[in-house]
Amino acid sequence: MSKTIQNAEKKQQGIVIAAEALFLQQGYGASSMDQIAKAAGVTKQTVYRYFGSKNELFGAVMRQVQTAESEHYRFGAGAIQEELRGFASYLLSFHLREQALGLYRIMLTEAAQENLLATFKNQGPQRVLQPLIEYLSRQSQLEDPAFCGQMFATMILAPRNQMLMSKAHVMKKSAQKEHVLKVTKLFLKMIET
């Protein structure tokens, strides 16, 4: 890889890191492209060279937060209960991370700005739920696997609401595990009937 390409990738990554820090610290609307450029140590024109809009930059921040997760869940050939528990554990632990909570807080308060909700859906929930929906389609005779997958994810992520309301609220790993076990058991009863 040439030095020019490496420098360009380094600048682009620096912009995304600066934007993430500012978005999480002061919110999407309060973070200007000028502030992001200054924090990244580049010009505003450089930011726009890599990202056509602040919304596009927000999408890059979301991808950055997702790819920072060291291991993404992959459905295997285990029993449905084991596979759903594994996915649920991954989903809950990811969404209780501070960066994910911060991005979700932004969505709750600023979704109407610059079509931010569409960017969030395309980069977040749609990407995360698709493997679950595909798995449910293969494993069961569900009438509507997409709806069932969405409901399963909603039940798993219910504790996130308490975390969003109070930064002091923390869900211990043991409580996360218990929640995942209960929700998975309930979900399996629901789809078996």
List, for residues 141-183, the tens digit of each pLDDT value.
888 999 999 999 999 999 988 888 776 678 899 999 999 999 9
Give the position of tokens 């979704």.
Answer: 111
Judged by DSSP in three states, 175 sits in: helix
CA-to-CA dists, residue 77 to 32, 40, 74, 83, 91, angstroms: 47, 44, 10, 8, 19
Q: Is it true that 3-60 and 69-192 share their CATH fold? A: no
Task: Classify domain 3-60 at the CATH superfamily level.
Answer: Homeodomain-like (1.10.10.60)
Chain segment 45-103, per-residue pLDDT in tens: 999 999 999 999 999 998 888 876 656 788 998 999 999 999 999 999 988 888 888 88
User: What architecture does CATH give domain 69-192?
Assistant: Orthogonal Bundle (1.10)
Q: Where in the chain are the domains?
A: 3-60, 69-192
> Residue 55 has what DSSP assignment?
H
